Amino acid sequence: MGNELFIHQSEYIHKVCEKYQCFNYPVTSLPIAVGIVLSKTQCPSTEVVISEMSKFPYRNLLGCLSFISGRTRPDICYAVNILSQFQSNPGLVHWNILLKLLGYVAQTKTYKLKLSETNNLNINCYSDADFAANRDDRISIGGLILFIDNSPIIWKTFKQKCVSLSTMESEYVSLCESAKELVWTIRIFKEFENLNVIKTINNYVQLRIASSPQSWYISTTEKTKRLYTG
């Protein structure tokens, strides 16, 4: 259609759905339910239950959904990341939520990424964090997505490598990770004259700290991060 390119994996998703249809996955409208809480306390703790859970192809299905997420479906990236934290010893709760994610992907298998021709390169980068999202170690979950105009080209969800003590701090760590991706992208497109870069932040305190050289947040680690975010 004109100078537009659409990328999708509908055929692959159809094959995955056929492969796992024997598990009667439910069709849902969300990748993961709002407010859902998963933890290691829901993992099996006895040999009998572990043996029962081994009958379910948790890792195989998760691998299929991870493949889809990393190539054409940023909307399921968060759910895949959360569920991957339990792949070594999944419980029935985790399996059922994984099946619901498959149901969502089946329902939305026609979703596509649109890449359009553009004269001006507008790079928009967004980051966010779910403070203390992991109920087992209280480590926050970060996420980022980078667009060129309206086309997403980089996205990921990740478990942060430190324990943040506030929402602002977890947002700041995610901002740093997004800035790394942004710097790398800018270096690729640096020869283009019409390059416009926008970083989007949704936390006012985080914005003040990232932009102020006189910030009270003066630890060596945070100063280093500011080299990326400032």
Q: Which two tokens stand for residue 142?
A: 């970060």
pLDDT score at 195: 75
Give the count of beta carbons closer than 10 Å to the beta carbon of residue 164.
20
Question: What are the percentages of helix, strand and coil residues in the chain, rounded to 5?
Answer: 45, 20, 35
Domain 120-212 has CATH 3.30.1490.20: no
Place of tokens 């940023």: 74
Q: Which amino acid is at 194?
A: N
Specify the pLDDT at position 110.
Answer: 95
Token digits of residue 79 = 């759910």
SS3 59: helix
Gap between the Cα atoms of 150 and 152, Å rounded = 7
pLDDT of the residue at 201? 59
Q: What's the pLDDT score for residue 172?
A: 86
Pairing of strands 113-116, 4-7: antiparallel
Quick check: helix, strand or coil at residue 163?
coil
Task: Please list the ranges in the chain whose pLDDT falls under 70.
Answer: 1-2, 193, 198-230
Q: Which residues pair with 85 in a beta bridge?
A: none
The tokens for 228 are 């990326």
Is pTM beyond 0.75? Reply is yes
DSSP bridge pairs for 91: none
Which regions of the chain carry the CATH code 3.30.420.10? 120-212
Q: E strands along 18-88, which residues?
A: none
pLDDT, residue 135, reads 85
Cβ burial, residue 27 (10 Å; 0-12/13-18/19+): exposed
DSSP 144: E
